Amino acid sequence: MDFFEAQARAKKRTSRLVALFSLAVCGTIAAGYFGAILLSAQLDSKSGRTRDRYGYVQPHHAPALWQPQLLAVVSLGTLAVIGLASLYKWSEFSAGGYAVAESVGGRCVDPHSTDLAERRLLNVVEEMALASGVPMPAVYILDDEPAINAFAAGLSTADAVVAVTRGALEKLKRDELQGVIGHEFSHILNGDMRINLRLTSLIFGILVIGLAGRGILWSLRGARASSSRDNKNSGGILVAIGAVGLGLLIIGYVGYFFGRLIQAAVSRQREFLADASAVQFTRNPTGLGGALKKIGGLAIGSSLQTSKSAAIGHFFFAQCFRSNFGGLWATHPPLDERIRAIDPTFAGTFIEPPQIEEMAQESLISARLAPAPTRPVIHPDKALASIGTLTPTLLAEAQQLHASLPPRLLAAAYSPAEAPILLYGLLLENDDDNVQRRQLALIASRAGGEALHLLKSLESCLRDLGPEHKLPLLQLSLPALKTLRPSALTPFFETLDALVHTDGRVSPFEFALQKLLQRHLAASRAPARASIVQFHSFQAVADAISTVLSTLAHASDRDSNEAYAAGAAQLPLSTANLGPLALTIDLFALDAALDKLAIASGPIKQRLLKAAVHVVISDGDVQVEEYELLRAIAATLDVPLPPLPA
């Protein structure tokens, strides 16, 4: 299943989820309606029998089951409560993945941490991010949780976080930890994170009715004794209020029960796929299998101590709370089933995790690097298949790439104070001393002498930096840049733009760096704003497609007309509809074209990227700079494209 198919399935799951929860809400409304009928009948019987105009006592009749006005009131009230509560919970999570991580006690890992276990975790996540082409997610640790567990959360790849428990950090070997992180990256790439947040918000909306009832009953505990002394008539009022509270409690938890069933069913279906993807990523079933076996061998297993974890139980790598109702609420399949799915020879024997002292004997910093594979010839179909996924080859290349990055530049990428200076350095013109002097003077005037001094300390590393290292450094610096205040971002972007235009032109790399940075930082600032598809027709975006293909065709020394024609042949548009090759590169037009294509449908993006890949590889020689431009184009379309094979 490729990236676009996974995204389409995620949208279908969202539609099915809404339909299932609509049924749960209807059930809640039905329970509330019949509860209201019983309550009104109870109140009628308490008020006594009525007399007619002649004074005769009329018998008490059974309440009518069909009361349209009452049904309308109950329906509107229930929908209002559920809707407002769901929106409230969604607004809590709209800040992004870090809001979820911090809600369960997560601590953001300092990229400069000297703790060996934390360094090992950061290295594993960095390698996965580089290999898949997604922005580096923030990494969190649940310090107070001795169990083995982990989760990924966020509304998009731009605001994603990966969190692990202290138990996972201390009790898993590197290959086991890599398997767990690979499982979580599968959820990131398959679009599961946004569904998880929607699921949590909807369940909370149904639960809030039961919580209101429980609150009413709790508040009556202290009022009962005092009211009996103050007013004899207040006893009946308290009974009525208690009945309302009990009714709300029952009604709310009826809906909550079925909501939990839906949550569990939706979650269990995805865990086997994520396990299989993790094994595919690492090509090491013993890593993921070992982690699952250690969960089974640990007394506490994967159960978390915080009660808040149950609300997001479907986020986690393994079952984080004790499932009631015979496992009906279990958000994950049984451990033995998951292990046998990746290791059919499993005999049912779990592994007791080693003590921390034993784990300290293992190298916590880095794994043995796989030998660098020879650079393959890039095939369009294989390039497209690599979008939004991980392969052992990509992971091995990412390990090599990560190991080759200068430690001083890595340290700068991790620092909120130094990361902007690092990006200034990536834009320095090393082939023209006059241009570079003007750039350095510009940095001194805009960012100050201290920034210039820091840049001088990075100069030797920057001078020897290969072009294939530049955008990976940008990827790794994103968590630090996301912490900058909005007041600091504006001068930062203005300085970047001034550095780019110092020589009077914008290179494809400079455009790629600015576009990637603006896209990811903007998305992380407002992650809840999902792009609404506005274009479903190729004809409606033909001019934008032509601009993208023309820019790529001019980005190298190949025959531009031949490259443009190779890409155009992959589109369901005639040459007349698509338009001819543009005469020159116009990056301002490209910027506008990408903004338009960002709100196009998935099939349009898929065919566009296929055409773009054919343009880039038309001469069989792919340059780093033009491929990074292709990555920037893909990122603007919210499609993670892995780096160029070594």
**Token pair belonging to 516:** 């990637």
CA distance 584 to 563: 14
Residue 455's pLDDT is what? 92
Residue 221's pLDDT is what? 64
Mean pLDDT of 102-129: 92
Mean pLDDT of 552-557: 81
- The percent of residues in the chain predicted with pLDDT above 70, rounded, is 82
Q: Is the dihedral of CA 614, 615, 619, 622 positive or negative?
A: negative
Helix H or strand E encompassing 591: helix 587-597
Which residues are 316's β-sheet partners?
151
Instruction: Specify the long-range contacts of residues 227-233, CB closer than 8 Å, at least 24 apart.
Output: none
In the block, which residue shows the tokens 């009628």?
44
Q: Is the dihedral of CA 506, 508, 512, 515 positive or negative?
A: positive
Give yes or no for a contact between 616 and 622, defined as CB atoms under 8 angstroms apart: yes
Lowest mean pLDDT of 48-57, 78-87, 287-296, 536-545, name the range. 48-57
pLDDT, one tens digit per residue, over 58-80 is: 555 666 778 888 889 888 988 89
User: What's the CA angle centered on 49, arms 46 and 55, to 5 degrees?
Assistant: 150
Lowest mean pLDDT of 240-249, 364-373, 512-521, name the range. 364-373
Residue 47's pLDDT is what? 57
Annotated catalytic residues are 184
Mean pLDDT of 550-572: 85
**Token pair belonging to 597:** 């294509």
DSSP letter for 163, please.
E
pLDDT at 33 over 50: yes
CA distance 66 to 72: 11
In the block, which residue shows the tokens 């109702």?
325
CA distance 138 to 98: 8
Q: Give the strands of the sheet with 150-153, arranged side by side.
A: 107-108, 138-142, 161-165, 150-153
Return phi, psi of residue 643, to 5°: -65, 165
Say how far residue 111 (Cα) sits from the centre of its chain.
20
Question: How large is the greatest C-alpha to C-alpha distance in the chain, in angstroms?
Answer: 110
Give the number of C-alpha atoms closer than 13 A to the C-alpha of residue 63, restricted to the C-beta side: 17
- What is the dotted CATH code of the domain comprising 99-194+279-359? 3.30.2010.10
- pLDDT band of residue 143 (cuts 50, 70, 90) is very high
Radius of gyration of the chain (CA): 29
pLDDT at 181 over 90: yes
Residue 376's pLDDT is what? 44
- pLDDT band of residue 375 (cuts 50, 70, 90) is very low
CA distance 115 to 113: 5
Give yes or no for a contact between 395 and 128, defined as CB atoms under 8 angstroms apart: yes
Residue 156's pLDDT is what? 85
pLDDT at 173 over 60: yes
- pLDDT band of residue 495 (cuts 50, 70, 90) is very high
Give the number of C-alpha atoms closer than 13 A to the C-alpha of residue 424, restricted to the C-beta side: 32
Residue 49, by phi and psi: left (phi above 0), alpha (psi -120 to 50) or beta?
Answer: beta
| Alpha-carbon distances, residue 317 vs 180, 219, 265, 274, 291 (angstroms) | 7, 38, 15, 9, 10
- The percent of residues in the chain predicted with pLDDT above 90, rounded, is 24
Helix H or strand E encompassing 138: strand 138-142
> Buried b vs exposed e over 409-436: b needs ≥16 C-beta within 10 Å?
bbebbbbbebbbbbbbbbbbbeeeeebe
CA distance 114 to 287: 25
Q: Is the dihedral of CA 340, 345, 346, 348 positive or negative?
A: positive
pLDDT, one tens digit per residue, over 340-362 is: 988 888 888 888 887 555 454 45
CA distance 403 to 397: 10
Return phi, psi of residue 491, to 5°: -65, -30
Residues 6+ apart with CB under 8 A from 30: none
Best mean pLDDT range from 346-350, 495-499, 583-587? 495-499
Residue 382's pLDDT is what? 63
Q: How far apart are the first and last CA of the chain?
A: 25
Best mean pLDDT range from 267-271, 360-364, 598-602? 598-602
- The three-state DSSP-derived secondary structure of 382-421 is HHHHCCCCCCHHHHHHHHHHHHHCCHHHHHHHHCCCCHHH
Residues 6+ apart with CB under 8 A from 481: 416, 419, 420, 517, 521
The whole-chain average pLDDT of the chain stands at 81
Nearest to 94 by CA among 520, 524, 528, 482: 528
Mean pLDDT of 192-206: 84
Residue 15 burial class via C-beta count within 10 angstroms: exposed 0-12, middle 13-18, buried 19 and up: exposed
DSSP letter for 319, please.
-
Give yes or no for a contact between 195 and 269, defined as CB atoms under 8 angstroms apart: no
**Token pair belonging to 264:** 């569990």
Pairwise pLDDT comparison (284 vs 222), residue with the higher score: 284
Residue 324 burial class via C-beta count within 10 angstroms: exposed 0-12, middle 13-18, buried 19 and up: exposed
DSSP per-residue letters across 594-639: HHHHTTB-HHHHHHHHHHHHHHHTTTS---HHHHHHHHHHHHHTT-
Residues 6+ apart with CB under 8 A from 261: 328, 329
pLDDT at 312 over 60: yes
- Where are the domains positioned within the chain? 3-48+62-95+199-263, 99-194+279-359, 370-399+506-646, 405-505
CA distance 204 to 100: 14
CA distance 306 to 147: 11
Residue 504, by phi and psi: left (phi above 0), alpha (psi -120 to 50) or beta?
Answer: left
Residue 366, by phi and psi: left (phi above 0), alpha (psi -120 to 50) or beta?
Answer: beta
Mean pLDDT of 74-88: 89
